[in-house]
Amino acid sequence: MTGCGNNKCGCPLTTNHINPRFVIFAPDDMRLRLQSILWSLGDYQIVSDTTDLSAKDFDAIFTTGLSAAQKRWVGSEPLPIVALLLPEKLDTKQGGELVLSTTFYYQDVLEVLYRLQLGRAESNAGAVIHRDRLVGASAAVAELRRLSAQVADKAVTVLITGPSGAGKEVVARSLHDLSSRRDAPFVPINCGAIPRELLESELFGHERGAFTGAISSRAGRFELAEGGTLFLDEIGDMPLEMQVKILRVIQERTFERVGSDKTRSADVRIIAATHRNLEAMIEAGQFREDLYYRINVFPLNVPALAARPEDIPHLIRSLSKQLETEGLGRLRLAKSAMRSLCAHSWPGNIRELANLLERLVIMYPDTVLGFADLPENYRYGDDGWRPEVAEQEGPLAPALATAGLPVLPATGVDMKEYLQDIEREWIAQALNLHAGVVSKAALHLGLRRTTLIEKMRKLGIQS
């Protein structure tokens, strides 16, 4: 059996010629469930009959265990194998192996696909990745990885631009991790969060008695970052008088503490970041042009999350794992919820997404969240409907027809009855697919078992 799905918010692996092709050696019910999730995540070709096909034609194998004949078919081909294991056997596998619980769900499969993709990228690059902080599989993130690898070990200043919450500090930390300074400190400072009268002391340190309240000597961020990286976040908010002093340190690699005439050396790599348009600020006389050219030796731009929606599932995977590690519980999203989140515009970018996930995992720990569980302002139809579409001028029928949706009849429609008919048909199909087992049908539909039972009662459906 072969086929391919339509990518809506997932991101496929990168291959040379065709869409990624997987072979599944597993019982029919498990194969169909895995196949359904893979197709919802991307344009993957799924094969279960390998007759007349070679192992080298595939990107990975999902299997509950290879038979002797299947092992001969694989031969010496270096093909990634994802082991489908019972939950109680997961702990017996080594950390580097690709495994998937037989009770897998949407995000579990996404995790494996993400690891497959990173493994492919690492193999193609032939390089050692110390730690991959950049989460995502979009072209924008791939370009950030490429540029970061190029400049990481160069002794030049980097300027990272992008909207607030987009992950500029993550990029800066990634540059530090990839550099020869990785074993030395990474010291961040938000230039806009510290009062201007204290910023000089924070950066350069001070001696005892240098000003009222300076009861002891204190090292500044430049000293704390010695041998490592100093991250000047929101440098566009730095006062003009401080910009002059930063420029001198960059040029001469020396500084003095406040209240001292002793010159100290500064062996630090400077990475700056801002969400502001520095060129416009220069025109307005709010930012020094000479400092701009000093820090903008190698520019990197982090795009807004709305510009790379294919990264949202990967970010949800990563952030959910972090929340689970912190003891807040495991967050699991149904496909309808995931697609709805992919349709959101995310004006607060990754920071907004992280805050939402933290709220959801507190409200619904260790449960599967459906579309209806999302806050109302994060609910978008599975068809990708957006509020702004309804505000556009002109008839909507052509756009809706193009999207593959039924056109609203000119004479009107009983919307409640129409939607109930769709629900009734899908529930019946899911129950038929899973031989009447309600729990499996609920999983397939992205619903809680109790929610499905209640819907069946209201719609008069017998299992």
pLDDT tens by residue, 420-443: 778 887 888 888 778 788 887 888
Report H helices in 299-414. 312-325, 335-343, 349-363, 387-390, 397-402
**pLDDT at residue 5 is higher than 60:** no
452's enclosing H/E stretch is helix 449-459
Mean pLDDT of 367-389: 69
Q: Helix 415-433 and helix 449-459: axis angle, to 10°?
A: 120
DSSP state of 297: S
Bin 52: left if φ > 0, else alpha if -120 < ψ < 50, else beta.
left
Contact in structure between 92 and 83 (CB atoms under 8 Å) = no
CA max distance for the chain: 86
Coil/strand/helix, residue 31: helix
Contacts of 169 (CB under 8 A, 6+ apart): 188, 231, 233, 273
| Euclidean distance between CA atoms 203 and 265, whole angstroms | 14
CA 460 to chain centre: 41
DSSP state of 226: T
Contacts of 254 (CB under 8 A, 6+ apart): 263, 264, 265, 266
Contacts of 42 (CB under 8 A, 6+ apart): 5, 7, 10, 11, 12, 13, 19, 20, 113
pLDDT tens by residue, 276-286: 999 999 999 99
For residue 140, give the nearest of 352, 338, 306 by alpha carbon: 306
pLDDT tens by residue, 21-63: 888 998 888 888 888 778 766 667 888 778 778 888 888 899 9
More confident residue, 272 or 336: 272
pLDDT tens by residue, 87-120: 777 665 554 578 888 887 766 787 787 677 655 5
Instruction: Give the chain's mean pLDDT.
Output: 81
99's enclosing H/E stretch is strand 99-101
More confident residue, 79 or 158: 158
Which pLDDT score, from 0 to 100, does residue 14 have? 40
| Euclidean distance between CA atoms 82 and 65, whole angstroms | 10
DSSP state of 258: B
pTM, to two decimals:
0.62
CB-based burial label for 18 (10 Å; 0-12, 13-18, 19+): exposed
**pLDDT at residue 8 is higher than 50:** no
Whole-number percent of the chain with pLDDT over 90: 33
Sheet strands (E) in 381-448 = none
More confident residue, 78 or 248: 248
- In the chain, the domains with their CATH numbers are 21-125 (3.40.50.2300), 139-303 (3.40.50.300), 311-408 (1.10.8.60), 411-463 (1.10.10.60)
| Euclidean distance between CA atoms 27 and 4, whole angstroms | 20
